[in-house]
């Protein structure tokens, strides 16, 4: 999950001129995106078995 935070943080930091608030928002968005990915992947695996 930390990877999602770092990617979101870095992307928003690059897009919004090193704004601390927007960088934090990007990190949170990265966490949410990665969490959704884990849920979807887990659901697909459980449907296969």
Segments making up each domain of the chain, as ranges: 2-44
Measure the CA dihedral 16/19/20/25, to 10°. Answer: -30
pLDDT value at residue 49: 64
pTM value is: 0.77
Q: Is the pLDDT of residue 25 over 90?
A: yes
Over range 7-24, report the average pLDDT.
Answer: 91
Q: What percent of the chain has pLDDT over 90?
A: 65
Over range 18-47, report the average pLDDT.
Answer: 90
């Amino acid at each position: 999950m930390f990877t999602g935070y770092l990617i979101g943080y870095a992307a928003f930091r690059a897009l919004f001129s090193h704004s601390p608030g927007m960088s934090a928002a990007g990190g949170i968005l990265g966490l949410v995106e990665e969490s959704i990915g884990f849920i979807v992947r887990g659901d697909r695996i459980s449907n296969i078995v």
